[in-house]
Structure 1
């Protein structure tokens, strides 16, 4: 009978907790809402569709120390702003530790991802030394990811990054921006910039050839090397 009373009392207590607990839909809590506010201060907006993902320019903007610090500090800030006197001291200390752990874990991962992002997502030529450094950054990022999320699976994108990205960089010796949609937009911008420089040429074919020649020289490492060697010969 005593055991039954304890079970009933436990059930009633659990039901009371559930009744007093605020039901929040996924992604609608105060911390998540604060993250969107932080992003808006840096003029970054997640897309309404495609899983609330970011456009390429906004990813580049988020991969800065200033934005990463603001995002990872948001949980602690929200917790302190919403703390009330009826919260027990033990719970208060636990919340402080949890928010500090969140900041530490995600700061480490975001900063290492930012190193990878800045190393590969551009349209310029890459030297062998830079590729070796990018390889180190990718390994450090994946090591931190596995340590922080041991039960998470490696997605196809992370697999490509870990096992195939460096191989492709060594083969083509140029950033990945030439191989995706954002890279196409970047090239389009570069073409427009070059077109404004050569707009004084009367012959449209000469203008086009000048734009394409400059693009080839700027994106092909072998061409840049040959030009540098020729220039040194002329100096003598």
Structure 2
């Protein structure tokens, strides 16, 4: 059986990835995800089976089917739909890739955003309007506060001089020195009041911040992704599609993506930013390359030798070890599937997720959509679906499939004289 993780959880009656016991294959808790597999206490984590799922569901029903108490019953809240052992359920390789790549990219984007926040000099190129306004407000605050400091010192000194003049002058109302100092005090007081208003206005702009995507480092990262034709979806929270991730995980594209941080810092001619950018580049180059080594093997659709499976296990351990040491972010349930359940599946069936994963099932969507257009005139929805499935079945029958002529090869076009 294959499918995305939400589908598998629904089929086997698990509440899902947000539950305390988030895994379909074992009873690990969210707190135990951060502990490496090699140092984890295995006695506290038991593998799930059809029998334990049935038992926990009975206990959940006896406890009143209260969803708030689901964690007390290993987050089993429904019956199992099919009598298919969990050892025959393929880990969702595509969605593991989507989730882990999305996490790494979000961490890289956050680092770029923090670099944008640390910029103090105005920048008018390669950035969005809200970011330019933000930097201009920060610069205005700095300059105005420096001016305020000078004006305040001069005002205090002028007030002291005025006090002495008033004490020593026989006719202060007609004393030209008193008049000049008074005008200076009035001018400085007015300027200080105006500056205070300016500072308050610009601090309000700084407090509002700027759109993340308007930052110069984030924009540079987006341009780097676009250079090898990878972009986020406008919907679904800005996630990526599978084909784009396969392309992004190529070594040359990983280098382009991470080096964009260094290129941007170099253009700003800021040594502090340059040093930080070098650290970010090195860290994420390692993270993406380590994950790409795992992805290349488990996403394949060919038979895997024992040596290749051992290579996959070593690559997964190296990636998760680096992730836990380098990032404070939480360990995703999909990372747990990669670490604990993907290698046992591959060892059992000797194939990658590309052969038995959810990609093949999801490719049927386009096929069904094309066939369904021919039957849109059938009003009854159930009848239309029945005809659709019959048509799909007839198309896939080996006897019928063998009658299809092979596709014609395109003839090479002759060059025109």
TM superposition score category, shorter chain reference: 0.5 to 0.7
Matching of residue 165 in structure 1 with residue 342 in structure 2: yes
1:52 to 238, 245, 248: 238
The answer (yes or no) to whether the contact 1:35–1:71 under 8 Å persists in 2 is yes
Alignment size in residue pairs: 177
Deviation at 1:56, TM superposition (A): 1.2
Q: SS where residue 246 of structure 2 aligns? A: helix
Q: TM-score, normalised by structure 1?
A: 0.65
Q: SS where residue 133 of structure 1 aligns? A: helix
The answer (yes or no) to whether the contact 2:309–2:346 under 8 Å persists in 1 is yes
Taking a change above 3 Å as real, the CA distance of residues 210 and 71 of structure 1, as seen in their structure-2 partners, is farther
Q: Which runs of 5+ in 1 are unaligned?
A: 1-8, 84-91, 190-203, 212-236
Q: Which residue of 2 aligns with 1:155?
A: 332
Taking a change above 3 Å as real, the CA distance of residues 133 and 210 of structure 1, as seen in their structure-2 partners, is farther
* Of 133-142 and 45-54, the range deviating more from structure 2: 45-54
Deviation at 1:205, TM superposition (A): 4.1
Q: Deviations over 1:24-54 (max 9, x none)?
A: 2234311111112111111112111222222
Matches within 5 A, 1:89-108: 92-108=270-286
The answer (yes or no) to whether the contact 1:122–1:183 under 8 Å persists in 2 is no
Q: Deviations over 1:140-184 (max 9, x none)?
A: 0001101111x2211100011111110111111111123444344
Matches within 5 A, 1:193-232: 205-206=398-399, 208=401
The answer (yes or no) to whether the contact 1:124–1:174 under 8 Å persists in 2 is yes
User: Normalized per residue, which structure has more helix?
Assistant: 1
Distance 2:201 2:265 in 1: 24
Deviation at 1:209, TM superposition (A): 6.5
Matching of residue 63 in structure 1 with residue 249 in structure 2: yes
Distance 1:80 1:20 in 2: 27
Matching of residue 136 in structure 1 with residue 314 in structure 2: yes
1:145 to 300, 323, 337: 323
Taking a change above 3 Å as real, the CA distance of residues 63 and 172 of structure 1, as seen in their structure-2 partners, is same
Q: Which runs of 5+ in 2 are unaligned?
A: 1-148, 150-195, 367-396, 405-417
Distance 1:61 1:105 in 2: 20
The answer (yes or no) to whether the contact 2:294–2:315 under 8 Å persists in 1 is yes
The answer (yes or no) to whether the contact 2:250–2:292 under 8 Å persists in 1 is yes
The answer (yes or no) to whether the contact 2:304–2:351 under 8 Å persists in 1 is yes
Matching of residue 176 in structure 1 with residue 369 in structure 2: no
Distance 1:30 1:210 in 2: 58
Greater RCO (Cα-Cα under 8 Å, separation 6 or more) = 2
Distance 1:145 1:114 in 2: 13
Taking a change above 3 Å as real, the CA distance of residues 210 and 159 of structure 1, as seen in their structure-2 partners, is farther
The answer (yes or no) to whether the contact 1:123–1:183 under 8 Å persists in 2 is no
Indicate the RMSD between aligned Cα atoms, in angstroms. 3.1
Deviation at 1:97, TM superposition (A): 0.7
Taking a change above 3 Å as real, the CA distance of residues 141 and 210 of structure 1, as seen in their structure-2 partners, is farther
Distance 2:228 2:281 in 1: 19
Deviation at 1:133, TM superposition (A): 0.3
Deviation at 1:185, TM superposition (A): 6.0
Q: SS where residue 164 of structure 1 aligns? A: helix
Distance 1:207 1:124 in 2: 27
Matching of residue 23 in structure 1 with residue 216 in structure 2: no
Deviation at 1:107, TM superposition (A): 0.2
